[in-house]
Structure 1
Amino acid sequence: MRKLLFTITLTSIFLYSCNKPKETTTPKATPDIRTQAETLAKKFIITDGHIDLPYKLAEEGYMAKGTIPDLSGEIDGNFDYIKSKKGGLDVPFMSIYLPASLQKTSGASKVLADSLISMVEQIVDTYPAHFALAGSPAEAIQNFEKGLISLPMGMENGSGIEDNIENVKYFYDRGIRYVTLTHSKNNLICDSSYDPTRKWNGLSPFGREVVKEMNAQGIMVDIAHVSDSTFYQVMEMTDVPCIASHSSVRQFTPGFERNMSDDMIKLLAKKNGVIQINFGSTFLLQKSRQLYDTAKMALKEYKAQNPNASDSAITAFSNQWLIDNDFFADVKDAADHIDYVVKLVGVDYVGLGSDFDGVGNSLPNRLKTAADYPKLIEELLNRGYSEEDIEKICYKNVFRVWDAVLKAAGKS
């Protein structure tokens, strides 16, 4: 959701096992659940459908400078090499996020998309011992076996395609492997879940062409952010499975169309797709959603009363307000969403889509950075999930969809 949430700080509130050889040593006593979870996080590939690092770096001025921070170490934020290695994150999809505001200026979305893609390429070129590009599950597996973190890319907002169908192939060639059809506003492709005007009542005529061309080129269709009508129309026409790269379950957040209803999850699963659970607190808990507007008002009042407050003071106020008002979800709440999907349609249709570096300081307790995936795995183990189940949730389900889309396009 970026972007509509707390991005420090509004300024804070807005500013196989991969065929990996198994150990042959004599097994010791059964490890405790926490140790088992940490072991599985390293043993299995973990893929995450949505990490907003590129746009975060652009906001911090790196794109304008033509530089990047030292991503081989730790940086401020939810994602970097150290955090990822600690948490076992191996295949984070880099979000090429295109703000809806750019749709007002012809060419602006595509220009930004190209710049952000180039930034991801720069990361790989600068740190080849740490990161690598990946255009397929096979490439991601090869990188994993070399100890490299793969950086596949998904474009968040199809506005980058503009009104030129040839740009679908262009972005495939540039490394884009999924496209979120829209973001916070209706665009030339379809209606957004956040936009009440519903210009197209779903897909536009051009949007239908885009979906077909994405199928033809081997780009996964991402139905996160779209209106319900758009979702059902995509399901009617797509020939291959789809993903919801960073969405959660509407049952826990009634009326929040950005999350998926039971009927939508069932249809996505029937089509062999995957919902990747968003970790943002307002995606996980109705209580957090209800506090969101109050939090914005509290921050506004604080700024009015303290016009000379520093950014650090504003950040401290925001964070303390959220703590004092019990805003944050917990890792258990993320597990509840996974549980719900599994009970509704089975373990083959759910994955992880954290929205790290995109939902700012709204992330749950015990699930704040890429170092924290073992805590989610621990929670699933405590609930009786098998290692096979966890392997599917960590990567196999998403890789199945990714492979199917590439195969249908003759690119696998």
Structure 2
Amino acid sequence: MKDLILNAALVVIVLTGCNPPPKETATTPPDLKTQAETLAHTYIITDGHIDLPYKLAKEGYMAKGEIPNLSGEIDGNFDYEKAHKGGLDAPFMSIYIPASLQKTAGASKALADSLITMVEQIATTYPKHFSLAGSPTEVQQNFEKGLISLPMGMENGSPLGDDLSNIKYFYERGIRYITLTHSKNNLICDSSYDPNRKWNGLSPFGQEVVREMNAQGIMVDVSHVSDSTFYQIMAMTDVPCIASHSSVRKFTPGFERNMSDDMIKMLAKKGGVIQINFGSTFLSQKSRQLYDSAKVALNTFKTEYPQASDSAITAFSNQWLIDHNFFADVKDAADHIDHVVQLVGIDYVGLGSDFDGVGNSLPTSLKTAADYPKLIAELLERGYTETDIEKICYKNVFRVWSATLSAAGKS
């Protein structure tokens, strides 16, 4: 649930249902396509952020107490068939908590618990397809059995409330990273999206949270936090951190949600990893500018045609985005990876698609979990070695994950 839904229903309307024609791009040589497909199924692929649980909750599955047929294909970016085709082996299921629930005591924790239970139910309902995983070792074991692992990360630390004991509680429930905040400041820290900087970084409680996460073996996720929060985290911990679904600010100037070059250098110096978000507005300044223009165009349309049906509004929005070439491309995602590698080296970059979280803003050629081989092929075409690809796909993140568990005495 990212910047594409932070501006409320208008944005949802703008992006819903868009299926733009693919861009004309140079054809990847057949041998590289074959090599990419092979590597995608030879190496473990881990993705830092898949928003399937909250998507299913919004669609009413949680209220019904049932899980859709994830062993086949469902609408959206992730399911077993897409993941299997794309070689995705360890998608971190996002336990996403909207900032609006921070105002109601206990609501955040209740939702977190219900979403975790949903992920557990997926694994028990489809044991031949999915399995829970709480460590790189467990992912490897599942991979050898042909199972897709479902590790979990919590997006927004608000379910912790003001009680540090909840960190151990959520570790025991399977949470292996916590994104400290989301779209609004919370009790832990300031958000990159919130202009009101309540704490000027971490709160005093937030500093305790970081220490206790280190002690319990939960990775600190710096996606969504303000710049000052990031630097304070870096100053107080030597345990490496992740940015589970952030991209490079160089390509989107002024967008604090992405990471600056200096931040990426600091993250790498501390041994951390930035996992590239695939959303078009994370990858391309042109897409960001067009996104703002699309909202203006939609408002104008609704003013001129106040009786327009929802389908007419959606059709207008879809066509506007297609006509204005809104969507980024797989090459843009590769550009972000390139920049991180040139800046700090191959050991500090990974994948954090934000599938099912950024809707249909996803780039051409990176629309679903079936498409990881297309990104791998693009990287191979740019000269990345198989060893490089292996690090990007999983080894870099596994290093941070293992180091976090080791620091807590849980390796």
Name the TM-score class by shorter chain: over 0.9
- CA-to-aligned-CA distance 1:270-312 (integer Å, 9 cap, x gap): 0000000000010011111111121122233444455565555
Q: Partners of 1:102 and 1:339 in 2: how far apart?
A: 38
Report the alpha carbon displacement of residue 13 of structure 1 after superposing the two structures with TM. 3.0
Answer yes or no: is the 8 Å Cα contact 1:254–1:286 preserved in 2: yes
Match of 2:396 in 1: 397
> Contact 1:131/1:151 (CA < 8 Å) preserved in 2?
yes
Corresponding position of 1:278: 277
2:9 counterpart of 1:13 = no
Matched, 1:106 2:119: no
Deviations 1:98-130, CA, capped at 9 Å, x for gaps: 000111111111011001101101111110000
Partner of 1:150 in structure 2?
Answer: 149
Match of 1:2 in 2: 2
CA distance, structure 2, for counterparts of residue 166 and residue 69 of structure 1: 34
Q: How does 1:254-265 map to 2 (within 5 A)?
A: 254-265=253-264
Partner of residue 23, structure 2: none
SS at match of 1:192: coil
2-side partners of 1:113 and 1:172: how far apart?
Answer: 12
Distance in structure 2 (CA, Å) of the matches to 1:117 and 1:79: 17
Instruction: For 1:278 and 1:148, locate their aligned partners in 2 and report how far apart those are by CA, in whole Å.
Output: 24
Distance 1:406 1:71 in 2: 30
8 Å CA contact retained: 1:186, 1:199: yes
In 1, the alpha carbon distance for the partners of 2:64 and 2:104 equals: 23
Counterpart of 2:362? 363
Which has the larger displacement, 132-141 or 311-320? 311-320
> Deviations along 1:227-259, whole A, 9 cap, x unmatched?
000000000111310000000000001111100
Superimposed CA distance per residue, residues 347-401 of structure 1 (whole angstroms, 9 cap, x where no aligned partner):
0000000000000111101101001000000000000000000000000000000
Alpha carbons 2:178, 2:220 under 8 Å: kept: yes
CA shift in 2, pair 1:320/1:109, >3 Å: same
Offset at 1:64?
Answer: 1.2
1:293 match: 292
1:329-364 deviation per Cα after TM superposition (whole angstroms, max 9, x unaligned) = 000000000000000000000000000000011110
What is the distance in 1 between the residues matched to 2:62 and 2:308? Answer: 28
Letter paired with 1:396: K
SS of 2:347's equivalent in the other structure is helix
| Secondary structure at the counterpart of residue 351 of structure 1 | strand
TM-score normalized by the length of structure 2: 0.94
What is the match of residue 92 of structure 1? 91
SS of residue paired to 1:191:
coil
- Give, in angstroms, the shift of residue 67 of structure 1: 1.3
Which amino acid in structure 1 is aligned with residue 100 of structure 2?
Answer: S
Q: Secondary structure at the match of 1:96?
A: strand
Question: Contact conserved, 1:56 with 1:357, CA < 8 A, in 2?
Answer: yes
Unaligned runs of 5+ in 2: 17-28
Tell me the CA shift for residue 3 of structure 1: 5.6
Assess, with a 3 A threshold, how the Cα gap between structure 1 residues 45 and 296 changes in structure 2: closer, same or farther.
Answer: same
8 Å CA contact retained: 1:9, 1:315: no
User: Matches of 1:310 and 1:41 in 2, distance apart?
Assistant: 43
The Cα shift of 1:65 comes to 1.2
1:195 is matched with 194
Instruction: Name the CA distance, whole Å, in 2 between partners of 1:298 and 1:50.
Output: 31
Report % sequence identity.
80
CA distance in 2 between counterparts of 1:312 and 1:36 reads 42
* TM-score, normalisation: structure 1: 0.93
Q: Distance in 1 between matches of 2:362 and 2:235?
A: 34
Q: Which amino acid aligns with 2:320?
A: W
Distance 2:146 2:228 in 1: 42
Paired position in structure 2 for 1:339: 338
Does the aligned pair in 1 maintain the 2:15–2:360 contact within 8 Å?
A: no
294-303 or 159-168: bigger deviation? 294-303
Say whether the 8 Å CA contact 1:244–1:274 is kept in structure 2.
Answer: yes
Identify the residue that residue 124 of structure 2 maps to in structure 1: 125
1:27 corresponds to: none
* Counterpart residue type for residue 328 of structure 2: A
Does the aligned pair in 1 maintain the 2:93–2:151 contact within 8 Å?
yes
Amino acid at match of 2:2: R
Structure 1 residues without counterparts, runs of 5 or longer: 16-29
Deviations 1:209-243 (A, max 9, x none): 00000000000000000000000000011131000
Count of residues in Structure 1 that have an aligned counterpart in Structure 2: 398
Q: Which residue in the other structure is 2:25 paired with? A: none
Q: Which whole-Å CA distance do the structure 1 matches of 2:400 and 2:308 have between them?
A: 49
Q: Is the 8 A contact 1:12 1:360 kept in 2?
A: no
Distance 1:211 1:185 in 2: 18
Q: Does the 8 A contact of 1:9 with 1:314 survive in 2? A: no
Aligned residue type for 1:12: I
